[in-house]
Amino acid sequence: MSNLVPSVRGAVVVAGALLMAVVPLVTAASVGDAPPQASTKAATKPDTRVDTARPRIVFLGDSLTAGYGLEKKEQAVPSLIQGRLNATGYEYDVINAGVSGDTSAGGLSRLNWSIQGNVHVLVVELGANDGLRGLPPSAMKRNLDQIITRAKQRRITVLLTGMEAPPNYGAAYTAEFRQVFYDLARQHKIPFVPFYLQGVAGIPSLNIADGIHPNSAGARIVEATIWKALEPLLSKPK
C-alpha cells in the first residue's frame, strides 16, 4: 500500500479489515498519488497516434482506470474494452485518461483536454480519492455535475460509475457519498453503473497485494460490468 498518501493509509487499513470481514462487496479503492508503473502508465492526454476520424470512448478516472499495479497496460480496463470492441467489429478508439491519485476536482481540471477530438462516450470513474480523504460529498457532487454537464454540452454520452467510501468515516458520510452518484445519474438521466468494483472488491484473489486494486482477473470482471452498460450506447458495427 506504498502508493497511498500518508493521511489515508490508516483509514484504508481499517476500512479494508472491516470490509473483508463484514461487507465483501463494498470497499474504498485506493487510488494513491504515486504514478502507475511504467508498463501501466495511462494516457493523460488524448493519444495523437490514434485515428482522429474514428469516434472515441474516453475513460476519465483515477488509478482504477489507469491500471495501477498491473504488469501490462493491456490488462487495464480501458485496454480490455478496446480489445472487445475490436473483436466484435465496433470501430472506436478507447482513450485511457486515468491518473493515479486524482479526485473529482482533478478530473474536472483536466476535462477539457481529455475530451478533445471526436469523443462519443465519456466513462466517468472518479470519487474514490474524495472518499478516502473524507472530502465533502457535496463538493464531489459539484465537480462530477460539472464534468457531466460540460460533456453533455458537447453532445458526448456520459456513462457514470459509482464508488463506495470507507466505512470508518461513519454511516452518515458513506450514505451521503453513495447517494451522490445515484442523484447525478437520475438528475442527468444518464447510464449508470452503481459500483465500479462490483464482484471484485474485498475478494483477495481478484486484487493485487494491496487488496484494493484489481489484478488482471479482477480487471476482466470490471470490464464485463462496464461493457454491459457501455455496449448499448455504441453505434452497431456495419
Q: Which residues are catalytic?
A: 63, 210, 213
Return d(Cα 210, Cα 199) in angstroms, integer.
17
What cell does 14 get?
481499517
Name the residue type at position 198.
Q
The rounded distance, in Å, linking the Cα atoms of 223 and 218 is 9
The crossing angle, in degrees rounded to 10, of helices 77-88 and 216-230 is 60
Please tell me the distance from the alpha carbon of residue 83 to that of residue 23, in angstroms, as a whole number: 32
- Are the C-beta atoms of 26 and 61 separated by less than 8 Å? no
* Angle in degrees, CA 117, 234, 80, rounded to 5: 80
Residue 15 neighbours by CB distance under 10 Å: 26
Interstrand relation of 93-98 and 56-61 (parallel, antiparallel or unpaired): parallel
Cα 198–Cα 202–Cα 205 angle in degrees, nearest 5: 100
Around Cβ 136, how many Cβ atoms within 10 Å? 12
Contacts of 235 (CB under 8 A, 6+ apart): 55, 90, 120
Q: Tell which residue, 85, 67, 70, 73, has the closest CA to residue 121.
A: 85
